[in-house]
Amino acid sequence: MQQFAVVATHSISQPEPEAGSATAVVQLVDAGGTALIPPMQVYGDQLPAVVAELEATHRPRWVFDSVHAWYPGLVAAGVRIERAHDVGLVRAILRNAPYAVPGEYLSALGREPDPANAAPAHLLPPARVPENQGELFSEPKDRSGALENVLAEFLAQRAAVPDTQRGAKLGLLLAAESAGALIAAEMTHAGVPWDVAEHHRLLHEALGPQVPAGVRPPRMEELAAQLRTLLDAPALNPDSPAELLKAMNRAGIAVSNTRAWELTEIKHPVIEPLLAYKKIARLATANGYAWVDRWVHGGRFRPEYIVGGVVTGRWASHGGGALQIPHQVRSAVRADPGKVLVVADAAQLEPRILAALSRDTALAAAATARDLYQGIADAGFGGDRAHAKVAMLGAMYGATSGESGRLMPQLKATYPQAVGLVEWAAAQGEAGAGVATFLGRGTPQAPEGWLKSRSRASTEAEQRAVEAEGRSRGRFTRNFIVQGTAAEWALCWMGELRRRMNAGRAAGVDTGELVFFLHDEIMLHVPAAQAQAVVDLVHESARSASELLFGKIPVDFPVTAVVVDSYDQAK
DNA sequence: AACTCGATTCAA
DNA sequence: GATATTGAATCGAGTT
């Protein structure tokens, strides 16, 4: 019989014997919500011990209003749990899930504003400060955090998942999302191993000796002086695009912006030092000494992951720019002595996802090639891989013009099912309708009055604007089904991997830690002796995730996994 | 002083 | 006339 352990700050119906001193309450229930043991009042910092005990004896699925609020404290105390249900994350999915059972719960969700449309997550106050064990589990004791309410919403959420094939997929999504929240907390706790000395060395190499904050590093200052001379602008601040643009125009360089990739086209003595300046300026401001001081502690970079933070279901992140660790500094991501990094990524995940989604047998056949784009090239582009790739990316992103747009008919002729699916998704979006991922994560509702404003446009400029907006939403829905389903695949991949690593650990093998995740790429920090075993788990998990999602279909989802000492050695 | 916005560059 | 998706983060420059 499946059991659930609900964790909350307090209980309404079971006032504490010693008022004000209990810091949490835990209730074990069955699938119908019936209590299996009396609710347990937890005092002081005893929650980790209580959770560890129940996990060992009952192995329940843990129900939290927010895993992000509760689990980091448990992980810090050395406690891990196998399964969870994150009421908040599930609420966010059900709000827009087209296959959910309509009813009172969904209606209630529909009546309140979607927080996803509110302020970005990083602007909201942090849910919890995992610094002080004593205060760790003392939330304000409002009704909304009460155990009865968490349990009631949990049961409503279970009831909202229909007992159908679609419901099974939705249930998988909800479980995977919650598992993701556990993984996110564990990864933040583990941290990316970061070699500060190596980072400082490469900064010194590129920028010159370290200077106080606010002072321009020596190599940048030298280049700035060159730029001032070459542009005959003695007061130029090259950090100001506006000033730079004016100075360049004055020097007879006809540009309308100062973007690096456009400057590469221009022949002028100033271009080379300018590009050099931009390159190291970016390094200094985004990942320089200040970045290391602020974000690397105890040899670990610990970004916070925001599960489901992107509409498509991808993760967002906060702190240190974890979604954009530049290749320039990846040599500083270095395994501890005796350990190695296992870096794995899913090769050409999104087009393979499209093949599976659309059941396009021709595209599936191309996907049996190790290099999918070469497979497409050989099938319909005369072996021209570059053309095949831009055409495919264009189909998934919604390119209408340029080379990619011109290649679209050719691609559609070869893969009518696949291209037809993304075109259908785009049409849905343009018509103001929504679409859903394979497991059933739906797009948010188009803004109120969106269609109305389309028909009400009077002037020609207004008309053009609403048409552009419609196409924009079409590109969004077109990409949503692919990016969102790819995110589901990645979530299942990690979930499967975590399960196997936990099993290994339970059997006494140190399988190391997941330390980083980025869309279709994972990094593990593992004892060198276990590297090959972990690589095997990574591959096994990918196969398992593919079957978990799609069943047995003729589409391969190969992953590459390499064992390295530092991140720059991976691909 | 704090906030907002555009420009830019980084990532998958 | 042209337009590809999703993000994070920093800076300068203008605003409140």
A263: nearest nucleotide, CA–C1' criterion: B8
| Distance, Å, A121 CA → C7 C1' | 13
A391: nearest nucleotide, CA–C1' criterion: C4
A218 class by beta-carbon count within 10 Å (0-12 exposed, 13-18 middle, 19+ buried): middle
Split at pLDDT 50, 70, 90, the class of A112 is confident
Name the residue ranges covered by the structural domains of chain A: 3-190, 197-292, 302-349+488-569, 359-480
> Average pLDDT for residues A1-16, to the nearest whole number?
88
The predicted pLDDT at position A140 comes to 41
> Mind listing the pLDDT tens digit for each residue in A333-349?
999 999 999 999 999 99
CA atoms of A199 and A422, how far apart (whole Å): 43
Mean pLDDT across chain A: 91
| Distance, Å, A520 CA → C4 C1' | 20
pLDDT of A423 > 50? The answer is yes
**CB of A309 under 7 A from strand C?**
yes
| Distance, Å, A155 CA → B10 C1' | 43
> Are the CB atoms for A192 and A524 separated by under 8 Å?
no
> Mind listing the pLDDT tens digit for each residue in A286-303?
999 999 999 999 999 999
What number does CATH give the domain A302-349+488-569? Answer: 3.30.70.370
The predicted pLDDT at position A478 comes to 96
> Average pLDDT for residues A11-36, to the nearest whole number?
86
Structure tokens at A291: 């970045």
Split at pLDDT 50, 70, 90, the class of A143 is low
| Distance, Å, A288 CA → C7 C1' | 21
Q: Which of A8-22, A66-80, A185-199, A282-296 has the lowest mean pLDDT?
A: A8-22
Looking only at the bridges linking them, the beta strands covering A300-301 and A304-306 are unpaired
> Are the CB atoms for A396 and A412 separated by under 8 Å?
no
> Mind listing the pLDDT tens digit for each residue in A500-558?
999 999 999 999 999 999 999 999 999 999 999 999 999 999 999 999 999 999 999 99
> Mind listing the pLDDT tens digit for each residue in A247-297?
999 999 988 899 988 888 888 999 999 999 999 999 999 999 999 999 999
pLDDT of A445 > 70? The answer is yes
Q: Which of A256-265, A428-437, A478-487 has the lowest mean pLDDT?
A: A256-265
Structure tokens at A67: 């895993």
The number of C-alpha atoms within 13 Å of A196 and in the hemisphere containing its C-beta is: 13
Selection from A229, A235, A231, A209 nearest residue A220 by Cα: A209
Rounded to the nearest 10 degrees, the angle between the axes of helix A104-111 and helix A87-95 is: 80
**Residue with CA nearest C1 C1'?**
A401
**CB of A105 under 7 A from strand C?**
no
User: Rounded to whole angstroms, what are the CA distances from A77 to A25, A59, A72?
Assistant: 18, 18, 9
Q: Which of A19-28, A91-100, A198-207, A451-460 has the lowest mean pLDDT?
A: A451-460
A314: nearest nucleotide, CA–C1' criterion: C6
Residue type, A383: G
The strand B neighbours among A residues 268-287, by Cβ under 7 Å, are: 278-279, 282, 286
User: Rounded to whole angstroms, what are the CA distances from A333 to A200, A390, A560?
Assistant: 12, 32, 19
The predicted pLDDT at position A132 comes to 31
User: Rounded to whole angstroms, what are the CA distances from A469 to A230, A369, A447?
Assistant: 43, 38, 12
A139: alpha, beta or left? (left if phi > 0; alpha if psi -120 to 50): beta
The predicted pLDDT at position A369 comes to 84
Task: Write out the DSSP string of A7-21.
Answer: EESB-SSS--SSTTT
Q: Which residues contact A384 (CB under 8 A, 6 or more apart)?
A: A377
**Residue with CA nearest C2 C1'?**
A401
**CB of A471 under 7 A from strand C?**
yes
**CB of A414 under 7 A from strand C?**
no
A240: nearest nucleotide, CA–C1' criterion: C12
The predicted pLDDT at position A497 comes to 98
Q: Which residues face A41 on adjacent strands? A: A25
The set of strand C positions with any atom below 7 Å of a protein CB reads: 1-13
Q: Would you give the DSSP letter of residue A124? A: S
Structure tokens at A566: 């530092």
Split at pLDDT 50, 70, 90, the class of A74 is very high
The predicted pLDDT at position A403 comes to 87
Structure tokens at A302: 């610990």
Q: Phi and psi of A115, rounded to 5°? A: -60, -20
Split at pLDDT 50, 70, 90, the class of A14 is confident
CA atoms of A145 and A124, how far apart (whole Å): 18
**CB of A553 under 7 A from strand C?**
no
User: Rounded to whole angstroms, what are the CA distances from A235 to A221, A246, A257, A365?
Assistant: 13, 12, 20, 61
**CB of A257 under 7 A from strand B?**
yes
A294: alpha, beta or left? (left if phi > 0; alpha if psi -120 to 50): alpha
**CB of A484 under 7 A from strand C?**
no
**CB of A323 under 7 A from strand B?**
yes
Split at pLDDT 50, 70, 90, the class of A18 is low
Q: Which residues face A26 on adjacent strands? A: A7, A40
Q: Quick one: what percent of chain A has pLDDT higher than 70?
A: 92
A318: nearest nucleotide, CA–C1' criterion: C8
Cα separation of the two ends of chain A:
46
Task: Write out the DSSP string of A218-237.
Answer: HHHHHHHHHHHHHTT-TT--
